[in-house]
Chain A
Amino acid sequence: MSSLLDSLNPAPRTDAIACAERAEIDRSLRAPVLLFFVSGIAWLLLGSLLGLLSAVKMSMPHFLDSADWLTFGRVRPAHLNTVIYGWASSVGIGVGIWLMGRLCRVALRHRGLLIAAGIIWNMGVAAGTIGILAGQSRSIEWLEFPGWATPVLFIAYALIGVWGVIMFRFRQPGHVYVSQWYLLAAFLWFPWLYATANVLLIWHPVQGSVVGAVNWWYGHNVLGLWFTPIGLASAYYMIPKVLGRPVHSYYLSMLGFWSLALFYSWNGMHHLIGGPFPAWMISASVVASVMMFIPVITVAINHHMTMRGHFDYLKWSPTLRFTVLGAMTYTAVSFQGSLMAIPSLNAITHFTDYTIGHAHLGLYGFFTMTMFGAMYYIVPRLVGWEWPSARMIRWHFWLSASGIALMFAALTLGGFLQGLELNDPEVSFITSVQIVAPFRVVRTFAGILLMAAHLVFAVLFIRMLLRHGERREGPTLLANPASPEVSTPAV
């Protein structure tokens, strides 16, 4: 009956036009987004290998120490920077570009600008990594790339920022969705952070204890004002989109965004409690850290209430399984961060593996998991092919989830015990070192699990690009849902 009525009306169907427009937007985004994804995965593999090597060296200091470039002092910062700028930033930019295209509802403008930015960005990361391994690290945490490499990254980023402004300027009229707010803010905040830190630490270096203040201001904010907004933008899009139901409370989502914008940038100084800084500086940071409960609780309530009654989707949707785990971890890591700002707890956890565990939970448990979820949704729409293996997705999920859980548990527990020993004047320093030794073995094992997860994902991604396997008519699901949208190979 429906098709008969359609035949009586020769006008094109509205949904067909919308579908064609959406397909055109996805097509226009394909090359630059895939460039950032492919390079991001390559950096993820290298960064994981360097991280694993660093973890092994924590237990076996003489492992592969015959060459200068393989010593701990070079491998560890190379791991940090390849993961932050090579993997996390690249995949974040890729997801951000795709979301901006979708939410602005216009085909990509100036594709060449983004491709050039992607190439320059990767050249900058490669040059910086080689510089660190060659012994030119600047020994400023998260800013170890040599001074001559950072302008390259900044130029690349400037091109991306300009593109973001142009896309927003030419978007379709209508409401600016909360994910767009987060992305626009991230695109503006990162160059501010990066340029300021480079000016004050490298080009016109400040002196004395101010170096520590600027370093922690940058290190903390790059997580909270660069990676966090991109991760939340993705979660705010993916969860409602996959479920087919709007976010629980849009009021809360706006409150969450503006309160993050207001409070987060003050947080970094809580890492310097007890340090040689003005008391007001530390106090303001502690207060702002506790105020972070507001945006975190709003996001947690919103995501939970959006999912309520639909948790069975986690059984079979790869996108949701990764994204929801990432969103839940965001709540956990943010609560932990606020509690770490309380001086009595900070006195124990400071200078220990506990802080490393916190950073891994944020960058991996929250951000990386959210990005994996986004990629499971985005890539089929760019490649025009469905993920070839649900089994490999399951392996990817369980290896990465168990790997980060084990790593976080080992670092947190080991770090806490280490802190108790460090604070006990009756205990010798070497005892505080020996007590974390078994936890560092567990950390290495967790690193092996993560490395395996990344290899599985890389193979899956390559198969996807090569359109390997049988053509499927529906999404590759982890298990057969009750609904009829079951992934089956086309006959």
Chain B
Amino acid sequence: MDAGILLLIAGLVLLSGSALAAFAWAARDGQFEGLDGASSVIFDADETMREDSDCFPDAASRAARDGAGGHA
């Protein structure tokens, strides 16, 4: 068989296997559980929900450091 085809099949097996492994790992790790709260992981104590975060970081840093609140 042509070396290119062998390489292709090896790659396909490897990548398909890694996709399956990723799915299995996600299921085992509980990544498909508690999805309601999962959407909020992008928010932090200083980049909170209910406040827009499209702001200049130094201003946010100063506001947090000074305890002045402000939008983060």
Contacts and interface: CB of A to CB of B under 8 A. Distances in A.
Contacts of A15: 44-46, 64, 72
B: interface residue count bin: 35 or more
A234 to B, nearest CB: 12
Interface string A35-69: 00000000000000000000000000000000000
Contacts of B7: 199, 204
Interface of A: 2-3, 6, 13-20, 22-23, 26, 102-103, 174-177, 179, 184, 188, 192, 195-196, 199-200, 203-206, 237, 240-247, 250-251, 253-254, 258, 261, 313, 317, 319-320, 377, 380-381, 384-386, 472-475, 483, 485
Interface string B1-40: 0111101100100010011001100100001101111111
A9 to B, nearest CB: 11
Contacts of A246: 39-40, 42-43, 49
B11 A241 contact: no
Contacts of B67: 2-3, 6, 13
Nearest to B71: A485
Contacts of B44: 15, 18-19, 22
Given A16-B64, A241-B53, A203 B4 contact: yes
Interface of A is mostly: helix
Contact of B52 (A174, A244, A247): A244
Contacts of A243: 52
B50 A196 contact: no
B34 to A, nearest CB: 8
A244 B48 contact: yes
A337 B22 CA distance: 28
A7 to B, nearest CB: 9
A241 to B, nearest CB: 5
Contact of A20 (B2, B53, B61): B61
B38 A472 contact: no
Contacts of B39: 240, 246-247, 250, 253
Given A188-B15, A485-B52, A485-B71, A103 B42 contact: yes
Contacts of A381: 57
Given A241-B42, A475-B56, A485-B71, A204 B64 contact: no
A390 B16 CA distance: 47
Contacts of B50: 244-245
Contact of B38 (A177, A206, A242, A245): A177
Contact of B8 (A199, A250, A251, A317): A199
